[in-house]
Amino acid sequence: MIVFINNHLYTLKPEASLKQALFEFGAETPYALLVNDVFVPKSEHEHYILTQNDRIEVISAIQGG
């Protein structure tokens, strides 16, 4: 199955969870996630099943002032 994470193509097993996709991507906390422009809370990452061509945006916190 093909998904896009921050506009980069990734191939995952069918019915992969959002948590599995984040592992493949190498996401490091803290971050917020959007799937197809909809916010997905952390409590749902493990159970959120992705579908073909989903678009995931990983938004990392940037410290500064």
**Domain containing residue 20: CATH number:** 3.10.20.30
Strand partners of residue 56: 5, 35
Would 25 be classed as within a structural domain?
yes
Specify the number of domains making up the chain: 1
Tokens for 40?
């997905």
Would 65 be classed as within a structural domain?
no
The Cα 13–Cα 19 span in angstroms is 13
Amino acid code (one letter) for 55: R
The Cα 64–Cα 46 span in angstroms is 30
Tokens for 64?
């500064």
The Cα 22–Cα 2 span in angstroms is 14
Which domain does 34 fall in, by range?
2-60
Per-residue pLDDT of the chain (65 residues; tens, 9 = 90+): 999 999 999 999 999 999 999 999 999 889 999 999 999 999 999 999 999 999 999 998 776 65
Would 53 be classed as within a structural domain?
yes
Query: pTM for the full model?
Result: 0.89
pLDDT, position 29: 87
